[in-house]
Structure 1
């Protein structure tokens, strides 16, 4: 009995492909609900904690729980449990914002759409609805430190959501150097 010659056998024995192994990115399909839920969760957790730290070192006067302020007393939101609920509220907000970004802007490339998305949310929350619902101080009373800190945080938050989404749903990965993939 003659053995078949295998020219490609220099790498060792062939491993049977398992479900979930992807060699061809074209065959990989991401579940958008789960992906955006994950992006929103981590965007809210990371940037919510950063907002809390910046509040603690007095870079901003807006409470970490300003989004849930209509539902809780201000004194409670300053307590450890209130801060936890505030960060949790920011996580829920981030998940919803990530889903909205996916449905409206998922095919946009690059980092700038995400930065502009964060600026849009900053304007909505700190210029329009925030003061109207008494969640934030009016923009004329907030102070430059608070305004610039919150603006930068929301730009970075939007960048995180936008660029993560663009990287997954456009060919942003093809722009990476070959060794980075």
Structure 2
């Protein structure tokens, strides 16, 4: 069965809009991993509030409330959108999951070791506890691989851009 002219033209015109793709990827990265962070906080795997990045702007009592936790997830979504565009600009040429893992670990280091304690948004590394450190490191590594691998799959997946083989072509390819 041959592909119609319309199908061929649709495949040729497939170009991803980087702005919309970055917004979608960042939104869903923040929503998924921010919600997971909220769940892990409520299950006492981590002591870091879901809205820890908003600590300088809101009282801790508010950030512990239901609305505060919802705003915390929203702040993680905004953070993820910005981080996604930064990833696309700096590391977008890399393929595979490793760049994303390193990216997530670097963000964890910045937020929990370097700037976080300095700005007072998280406790110093010696006071925060191993459970919190391991949990947050895992979540940030997974968050980074989600961003990195999704980006790599969208922009470096050449198989999706190849023409579809017909029934006779598939038999001949075996």
> Shorter-chain-normalised TM-score: which range?
0.7 to 0.9
> Match for 1:94 among 66, 70, 80?
80
Give the structure-1-normalised TM-score.
0.83
> Match for 1:121 among 104, 107, 124?
107
Where 1:17 maps in the other structure, the secondary structure is helix
Where 2:48 maps in the other structure, the secondary structure is coil
Alignment of 1:48-59 (within 5 A): 48-59=34-45
Is 1:78 aligned with 2:78?
no
Alignment of 1:157-176 (within 5 A): 157-171=143-157, 173=159
- Measure how far apart 1:153 and its partner are: 0.1
The runs of 5 or more residues in structure 2 that have no matched partner are: 165-174
> Match for 2:46 among 45, 60, 64?
60
Where 1:122 maps in the other structure, the secondary structure is helix
Higher helix share: 2
Where 1:22 maps in the other structure, the secondary structure is helix
The runs of 5 or more residues in structure 1 that have no matched partner are: 1-7
For residues 161 and 147 of structure 1, the distance between their equivalents in structure 2, rounded to whole angstroms, comes to: 21
Moved over 4 A (4+): none
For residue 138 of structure 1, what is the aligned residue in structure 2?
124
Is 1:103 aligned with 2:89?
yes
Residues paired across the two proteins, number: 160
- CA deviations 1:100-134 (Å, max 9, x no partner) are 00001111011000000000000000001100111
> Match for 2:27 among 41, 51, 67?
41
